[in-house]
Amino acid sequence: MTADRIAIRGLRARGRHGVLAAERELGQEFVVDVVLGLDTRPAAATDDLSLTVDYGALSGLLVDVVTGEPVDLIETLAERLAGVCLAQPVVTEVEVTVHKPAAPVPHPFTDVAVTILRTRT
């Protein structure tokens, strides 16, 4: 990952992702962490938001993905979220973690999560 990073952690949204019918019907909360790799020097030198990532606007786009079209796997959801992040012109790489704290696991657990790292190609 590049030296400069912007992180959004603990972004919460309700989605209907999962392979079980009940997950699709009832939905559940997902928690998303993204760490963006980019060069922040141009924005810092000019104090210009347009040269970096507007993390408020990006958060809205990420929530739209979580609340949008359901998928079976959180791996697929993470991939879609990574694509949204990499669509930001200054982002060169992203680490996305999707947490599914209410996953249908028949044993006591704290969290189920998938983490992916993607770079601009």
Q: Tell me how far apart the alpha carbons of residues 41 and 91 are, in angstroms, rounded to a whole number.
A: 13
Q: Can you give the pTM of this predicted structure?
A: 0.95
Selecting among 100, 107, 118, 121, the annotated active-site residue is 100
Low-confidence ranges of the chain (pLDDT < 50): none
Task: Provide the β-strand partners of residue 117.
Answer: 95
What confidence score (pLDDT) does residue 89 get?
96
What confidence score (pLDDT) does residue 3 get?
85
Catalytic (active site) residue 89: no
Domains detected in the chain: 5-119 (3.30.1130.10)
What confidence score (pLDDT) does residue 1 get?
58
Q: Per-residue DSSP letters for 40-103? A: -HHHHHHT-GGGS--HHHHHHHHHHHHHSS--S-HHHHHHHHHHHHHTSTT--EEEEEEE-TT-
What confidence score (pLDDT) does residue 121 get?
79
DSSP state, 110?
S
What confidence score (pLDDT) does residue 114 get?
98
